[in-house]
Structure 1
Amino acid sequence: MNVRAIFIDMDGTLLKASNSISRRNMEAIYKLNNQGVKIFLATGRHYEVTTPYHKEIGLRTPMICLNGAAIHDAETGRVMQMKTVQLNEERFHQLTAESPCNVLIHTANGLYCKQTNEEIDYWTKVGKIPPRYIGDLRQANYQDVLKYSVRTDAPSPQISALFKNEAEVIDWNDGFELLAPNVSKWSAIQSLITEYKISPNEVVAIGDGPNDIEMLCHVGIGVAMGNASEKVKAAADYVTGHHENDGLAEFIERNLLKLNELYAI
């Protein structure tokens, strides 16, 4: 297999728990890039907290953000593609406003949330843009929603299932996320590889979360991190090491660099 592109998840894959990129991961990416492989980030994060890492690596490829709801140009940050989700807002807020959960609403114009937390404080520090609104979201004036995130601190499939006729649902151990129907990292990858004239069979994707499953299933080589759940690992072709042990670099070093060297001969 000739690998022409790799799509890399960020949290739990590229990044350590400290939100840093290890030297080994960085060096492996540099070597792969020098062999002509296109490197893309594909993340659930919004643009402002993706681009600092994208620049740190020195990438010039578009960024897949918010689980595929937005694709941003690397040079300008311009939105190349945006998929908004339409919910019955009154019903959504009836289900979430009085519940002991946090709600994050990512829009084309910024973040709206029920309450702040350590993660949002980190986003503000890195992205240098605070939430546009914090409080009772029934009183917020927002539009062009790209992703709803409901944090319940526990799996909540019985609640998320109520939205499956309106949205693409991603269930997490601490809640769920809602996107426009048929939107995923994979749908965004399809758009980009079509533009670059790359076959899915020439693509590698690597990640650790339920939002990565679809892309792992559809590319030429799907790679799950060692810290991924058993469901994510079952969807992958390979399982590499834990993100705290440079599992991304481990896979690149053992497989992709050697594989592409063979094709370069």
Structure 2
Amino acid sequence: MNVRAMFIDMDGTLLKSSNTISSRNMEAVNSLINQGVKVFLATGRHYEVTAPYHKEIGLRTPMICLNGAAIHDAVTGKTMQTKTVRLNEERFHHLTAVNSWNVIIHTANGVYCKETNEEIDYWTKVGQIPPRYIGDLKQANYQDVLKYSVRTGTPCPKISAIFNTEAEVIDWHDGFELLAPNVSKWSAIKSLLQEFRISPSEVVAIGDGPNDIEMLRYVGTGVAMGNASDKVKQAADFITGHHENDGLAQFIERYLLKSKQSYAI
């Protein structure tokens, strides 16, 4: 396996449920970097809650954030590329306001949300930047939306399908997310591969969520975590261990580190 780059999802992949990087995962990633492989983070998180982990690992590569809607410079954190999504706002807010769903809107200037919760409190703690607005989003003065996140608590594919003509839809077990059409982690990866002159065939991507399916499918080697759904696993070439059991490190150690394998896959 001739690998020049690896793109790693964060939640459910790099991180344990405690939002920490295990020493084994850290060691495996650093060994890969020392071997000359470029390692990138590709996450649904926004920049402020990605950068601390990027720094902890010591990465020097751009960060793919918000499922590919933003790419941030490794050093300055400035956006290298953004893709904004435009919805029929009146219809969107009418649909979401009549239900007891939380709505989180990620913009180029920060996060706006209907109400706060444990996850948003964590974002504020890690990113050290609170939401710009909490309350009735019809009254919020936001622009340049990169991602809408609707937390319904249950799968809602019939509701999310309403937005198929306006946006790229990602369905989760507890809601859905909306991005600009044709935006994904894979679309951002393609952009970076052109910049670094790396072929998709020389790339490994690893993840566990529905937002990872495209990148797992289209890179040279796609790896699904053991905690991924069957749909995600079907898009992958390999399935590794659970994120609580260092599945990321398991794959790197077994297949990518020169000292531990013979490149005969």
Which TM-score band applies after superposition, normalised by the shorter structure? Answer: over 0.9
Distance 2:153 2:172 in 1: 9
Cα deviation for residue 258 of structure 1 reads 3.5
Residue number in structure 1 paired with 2:160: 160
Residue number in structure 1 paired with 2:70: 70
2:115 aligned counterpart, secondary structure: coil
Cα deviation for residue 100 of structure 1 reads 1.2
- Matched ranges for 1:38-117 at <5 A: 38-117=38-117
Tell me, yes or no, if the aligned pair for 1:35 and 1:260 is still in contact at 8 Å.
Answer: no
Cα deviation for residue 260 of structure 1 reads 9.2
- Matched ranges for 1:1-265 at <5 A: 1-258=1-258, 262=262
TM-score, normalised to structure 2, is: 0.98
CA-to-partner distance for each residue in 1:2-61, whole Å, 9 max, x for gaps?
Answer: 100000000000000000000000000010000000000000000000000000000010
Cα deviation for residue 240 of structure 1 reads 0.1
Tell me, yes or no, if the aligned pair for 1:73 and 1:80 is still in contact at 8 Å.
Answer: yes
Aligned AA for 2:96? T
Tell me, yes or no, if the aligned pair for 2:255 and 2:261 is still in contact at 8 Å.
Answer: no
CA-to-partner distance for each residue in 1:161-216, whole Å, 9 max, x for gaps?
Answer: 00000000000000000000000000000000000000000000000000000000
Cα deviation for residue 133 of structure 1 reads 0.3
1:148 aligned counterpart, secondary structure: strand
1:232 aligned counterpart, secondary structure: helix
TM-score, normalised to structure 1, is: 0.98
Distance 1:168 1:260 in 2: 40
Tell me, yes or no, if the aligned pair for 1:2 and 1:259 is still in contact at 8 Å.
Answer: no
2:194 aligned counterpart, secondary structure: helix
Cα deviation for residue 66 of structure 1 reads 0.1
Cα deviation for residue 261 of structure 1 reads 6.8
Aligned AA for 1:83? K
What RMSD, in angstroms, separates the aligned Cα atoms of the two structures?
Answer: 1.1
Distance 2:251 2:20 in 1: 19
Tell me, yes or no, if the aligned pair for 2:114 and 2:135 is still in contact at 8 Å.
Answer: yes
Distance 2:121 2:235 in 1: 33
Gaps of 5+ in 1: none
Distance 1:77 1:208 in 2: 25
CA-to-partner distance for each residue in 1:98-151, whole Å, 9 max, x for gaps?
Answer: 211000000000000000000000000000000000000000000000000000
CA distance 1:221–1:212, change in 2 (3 Å):
same
Distance 1:258 1:215 in 2: 24
Distance 1:76 1:47 in 2: 11
Task: Name segments (4+ residues, structure 1) moved above 4 Å.
Answer: 259-263
Aligned AA for 1:178? L
Gaps of 5+ in 2: none
CA-to-partner distance for each residue in 1:36-95, whole Å, 9 max, x for gaps?
Answer: 000000000000000000000000100000000000001000100000000000000010
Distance 1:236 1:262 in 2: 22
Aligned AA for 2:17? A
